[in-house]
Chains A and B, each alone.
Chain A
């Protein structure tokens, strides 16, 4: 199951890159997110999975699609620079991914040692953490959202002229 979902995610990511049209990219990104949600479920993080789909899938990506529709964005045109940017970028990224993977894997081994996979009732536990240990960050994020709302409103409104 893991490999199915992982493959799905990777394919989605790749197609996000290869697709010319933003809305296709958006769709492939949605695929990635759903796959990730599946992975979360697999790891027993049900709540996070649900939130992942609701917020990412249901809100953020909808917003993207919405904006794409609104701006009626066409397929992107290639330019010499971007052609040029391809191979070296690929190299860089390969290196980056390799390093990240290797580094974390190295540490991951020790983590594995420390891991006792106990089934934790995630939702309740999460709620308790959020509202006990992380209550101030939580409040801060709510404030952040408020700011974001205001910012978006201000940005998107047309100047009355």
Chain B
């Protein structure tokens, strides 16, 4: 793998990709907040954001604006360099990690170039390792933030989070090893393809996914991932009751936003990872022979769009009556497009599955936040070191043993 690009076009393509991905990710982030608030609200039988825009759809925008124009005080006695560095580090690393995720198998042919979905080149042999490397560095953002803001709550928060992250990183890595053993490669694409039906074997759809043999690994991985992202129930670094807001107490407005975005971005990353590692990435859960399932995107989109339109007509505010139908029509149109142009449909399949799985995981995140209580710190550590790590190591042992056994007694 080399850094220098062969042609200028490649450079441009790369930049373009980055721009697009950034836009998507940030938007998704924004609406993720909305989504989260809504879901949690409904879990707690509230309405959630409702004022700004229909169903509070414009809430994220409002938040963004607020973040921009809010006063941004820098506390006295902070270590300025580090104080500014920390959020940049956090956000930068979080966004970088997205770059490694591949979103679709074959390239999109545009202007005579093969454009792969995903920024990293498809032959990135150390994909998962690189990802881990980046997440490993992610600790600094939090730790430094906590240290730099020269105040005791952040310091404690920073200490906690760095300790927690370092501890759970082990589990995170170990629990993936099983998958890597089965795939025999670090390359994320290879890992997904390893879950695809082998040539000459019956296509068994989701049966071939890693989730079944690696159920233990998945459990460990997801838990550790949640801890890595400092989410409930492992969000001790920002445990309001104990230490105001943890490491980012002293951060305001945009720098705070950075941490915020970083957190949600890493949520997305982790969801993508879960999808790739255990849920067959962009593979359809159904055997390819079930051709009808190819129309699932449309089948989902069109009714949803229609419902949105209807709902829009019945909405209280004028804005709502304008916006919602528009959104609805767009969605419906998309669905129709998929039906009309089969090649588009064919191309859309993998990303569709990928995204839907990711959304599922994001929902799980939110769901957990809505339901689970927070750990106590000692519980957290004990859980990480005494349960997760041994289990994941055991998982590695079992997996390797099974693989060896298969090699030995050539079971199929």
A contacts, CB < 8 Å to B: 1, 21, 23-24, 27, 30, 34, 37-38, 41-42, 44, 46-47, 49-51, 53-54, 57-59, 62-63, 65-66, 68-70, 123
Contacts and interface: CB of A to CB of B under 8 A. Distances in A.
Contacts of A69: 143, 146-147, 155, 158-159, 162
Q: Which 5 A-B pairs have the closest CB atoms?
A: A58-B136, A50-B129, A53-B133, A46-B126, A50-B126
A123 B186 contact: yes
A30 B159 CA distance: 18
B contact patch SS? helix
Residue of A50, A53, A65, A123 with most partner-chain B CB within 10 A: A50
B137 A58 contact: yes
Contacts of B67: none
B132 A54 contact: yes
Nearest to B166: A62
B133 A23 contact: no
A41 B129 CA distance: 13
B126 A62 contact: no
Contact of B136 (A21, A46, A47, A57): A57
Contact of B147 (A42, A44, A58, A65): A65
Interface in B113-171: 125-126, 129-130, 132-133, 135-137, 139-140, 143-144, 146-147, 155, 158-159, 162-163, 166, 169
Given A24-B81, A46-B1, A62-B136, 17 more contacts: A46-B126, A46-B129, A47-B129, A49-B126, A53-B133, A53-B136, A57-B137, A58-B137, A58-B139, A62-B162, A65-B140, A66-B143, A66-B159, A66-B166, A69-B143, A69-B147, A123-B125
A30 B82 CA distance: 13
A51 B129 CA distance: 8
A50 B132 contact: yes
Nearest to B132: A54
Given A47-B126, A69-B158, A54 B133 contact: yes
Interface string B1-17: 11110000000000000
Contacts of B82: 23-24, 27
A94 to B, nearest CB: 29
A66 B186 contact: no
Interface residues of B, number: 32
A68 B155 CA distance: 12
Given A47-B126, A53-B136, A65-B140, A59 B166 contact: yes
Contacts of B163: 66
A70 B159 contact: yes
Nearest to A38: B3
Contacts of A49: 126
A62 B140 contact: yes
A41 B130 CA distance: 11
Contacts of A57: 133, 136-137
A23 B79 CA distance: 10
Given A41-B3, A46-B1, A62-B140, A54 B129 contact: yes
Contact of B4 (A1, A23, A63): A1
A51 B162 CA distance: 19
Contact of B126 (A1, A38, A59, A123): A123
Contacts of B158: 69
A46 to B, nearest CB: 4
A85 to B, nearest CB: 27
A42 B2 contact: yes
Contacts of B137: 30, 34, 53, 57-58
Contact of B133 (A24, A58, A123): A58
14 contacts: A21-B79, A24-B81, A37-B133, A50-B130, A54-B132, A54-B133, A58-B136, A58-B166, A62-B140, A66-B143, A66-B166, A68-B147, A69-B143, A69-B147
Nearest to A122: B125
A25 B1 CA distance: 31
B139 A62 contact: yes
A15 to B, nearest CB: 11
B131 to A, nearest CB: 9
B328 to A, nearest CB: 46
A62 B143 contact: yes
